[in-house]
């Protein structure tokens, strides 16, 4: 894809995002008198915990590569990449991450790319396991979810070789990240005045988690909203409520990642 084509895709994605979001808020505008700011703040905190999960994944990667693995640096690295990929086209955050790893730590670009593929795999496995529990909320469903997690995570060792404890730690972190994402969407919806339960928000979290694997537009703006719109009829919550919750969480995540990256940048660059 040429730079011009990337810019066109970027603009189209933002246009679709803006159109769907405006329509959703128009169809069911939140009642300002029912806003619960503390829940919206909690959503930002949960988004920060998601950055912590990704930072811990980076620590596992750095240790596997026999590189210095300080948690503060790893969280800054994850946060910087997250907000850059959300704002700028052409995967600027990922490209910058590869450059930093090579210049600072001497890690080859292909090693990090394979690690990102591994993380995408654990993200998909976590989502599939959660889906199994949602479709079959019984002991059998839980057993199926555990089986999916154990078998599929083990197969990912062929993507990027890691020690078994680190590989399954990455898998557990992906499950934790899915739980935090779902909780963040729920906190946003409660903050906007919508009473929701775990069965309402779990499907939204699974879909958003799967969409995070491949970013077609920067931050998947437009793609995420269009997909959620198409799937809204089979979800417990209505279209407008789903879009409002996802939009609110996306901006909570952007705020958390930008805040953490700014707060830790001096420490990370001086390290």
Residue pLDDT, tens place only, 117-143: 999 999 999 999 999 998 888 999 999
CA-wise closest residue to 250 among 46, 37, 32:
46
Quickly state the pLDDT bin for 39 (edges 50, 70, 90).
very high
Per-residue confidence (pLDDT) for residue 60, from 0 to 100 = 93
218 within 8 A of 85, measured Cβ to Cβ: yes
Task: Compute the distance between CA of residue 191 and CA of residue 37 in angstroms, rounded to an integer.
Answer: 6
Q: Is 224's pLDDT higher than 70?
A: yes
Per-residue confidence (pLDDT) for residue 6, from 0 to 100 = 62
Q: Is 259's pLDDT higher than 60?
A: yes
Residues 6+ apart with CB under 8 A from 10: 89, 217, 218
Q: Is 116's pLDDT higher than 80?
A: yes
Per-residue confidence (pLDDT) for residue 8, from 0 to 100 = 67
CA-wise closest residue to 68 among 59, 76, 77:
59
Residues 6+ apart with CB under 8 A from 123: 174, 177, 178, 209, 210, 212, 213
Q: Is 90's pLDDT higher than 60?
A: no
What's the distance, Cα to Cα, between the start and end of the chain in Å? Answer: 36
Percent of the chain with pLDDT over 90: 41
Section 215-244 average pLDDT? 81
Using the Cα atoms of residue 68, residue 262, residue 9 and residue 251 in order, give the sign of their dihedral: positive
Tokens at 8, concatenated: 């066109």
Task: Compute the distance between CA of residue 252 and CA of residue 264 in angstroms, rounded to an integer.
Answer: 18
Per-residue confidence (pLDDT) for residue 92, from 0 to 100 = 58
Per-residue confidence (pLDDT) for residue 189, from 0 to 100 = 92
Residues 6+ apart with CB under 8 A from 175: 126, 129, 130, 149
CA–chain centroid gap for 12, Å, is: 22
- The number of distinct structural domains making up the chain is 1
Task: Compute the distance between CA of residue 175 and CA of residue 184 in angstroms, rounded to an integer.
Answer: 14
Torsion of CA 257, 260, 266, 268, to 10 degrees: -80
Q: Angle, nearest 10°, between helix axes 92-105 and 109-135? A: 130
Section 184-198 average pLDDT? 90
Residue-number span of the structural domain to which 240 is assigned: 3-270
Section 21-34 average pLDDT? 69
Quickly state the pLDDT bin for 17 (edges 50, 70, 90).
low
Section 102-128 average pLDDT? 88
Look-up of token digits 């929701």: 196
Mean per-residue pLDDT over the chain, rounded: 85
Section 38-51 average pLDDT? 94
Q: Is 91's pLDDT higher than 80?
A: no
Quickly state the pLDDT bin for 93 (edges 50, 70, 90).
low
Per-residue confidence (pLDDT) for residue 268, from 0 to 100 = 73
Which range has the worst mean pLDDT, 106-115, 148-157, 214-223? 214-223
Per-residue confidence (pLDDT) for residue 223, from 0 to 100 = 77
128 within 8 A of 210, measured Cβ to Cβ: no
- DSSP tag of 213: S
Task: Compute the distance between CA of residue 40 and CA of residue 21 in angstroms, rounded to an integer.
Answer: 18
Cα separations (Å) of 12 from 78, 230, 243, 254?
27, 18, 18, 20
Quickly state the pLDDT bin for 226 (edges 50, 70, 90).
confident
């Amino acid at each position: 894809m040429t730079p011009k084509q990337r810019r066109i895709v970027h603009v189209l994605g933002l246009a679709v995002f803006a159109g769907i979001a405006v329509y959703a808020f128009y169809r069911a505008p939140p009642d300002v008198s029912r806003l619960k700011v503390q829940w919206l703040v909690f959503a930002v905190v949960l988004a920060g915990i998601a950055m912590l999960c990704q930072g811990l994944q980076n620590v596992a990667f750095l240790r596997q590569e026999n590189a210095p693995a300080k948690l503060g640096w790893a969280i800054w690295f994850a946060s910087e990449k997250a907000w850059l990929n959300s704002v700028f086209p052409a995967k600027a955050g990922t490209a910058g991450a590869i450059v930093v790893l090579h210049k600072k730590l001497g890690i080859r670009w292909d090693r990090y790319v394979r690690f990102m593929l591994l993380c995408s795999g654990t993200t998909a496995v976590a989502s599939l396991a959660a889906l199994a529990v949602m479709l079959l909320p019984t002991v059998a469903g839980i057993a199926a979810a555990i089986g999916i997690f154990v078998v599929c995570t083990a197969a990912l060792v062929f993507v990027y070789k890691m020690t078994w404890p680190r590989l399954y730690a990455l898998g557990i972190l992906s499950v934790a990240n899915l739980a935090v994402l779902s909780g963040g969407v729920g906190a946003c919806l409660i903050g906007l005045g919508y009473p929701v339960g775990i069965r309402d928000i779990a499907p939204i979290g699974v879909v958003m988690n799967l969409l995070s694997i491949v970013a077609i537009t920067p931050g998947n703006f437009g793609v995420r909203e269009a997909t959620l719109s198409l799937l809204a009829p089979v979800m417990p919550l209505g279209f407008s409520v789903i879009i409002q919750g996802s939009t609110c969480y996306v901006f909570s995540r952007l705020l958390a990642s930008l805040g953490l990256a700014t707060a830790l940048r001096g420490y990370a660059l001086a390290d």
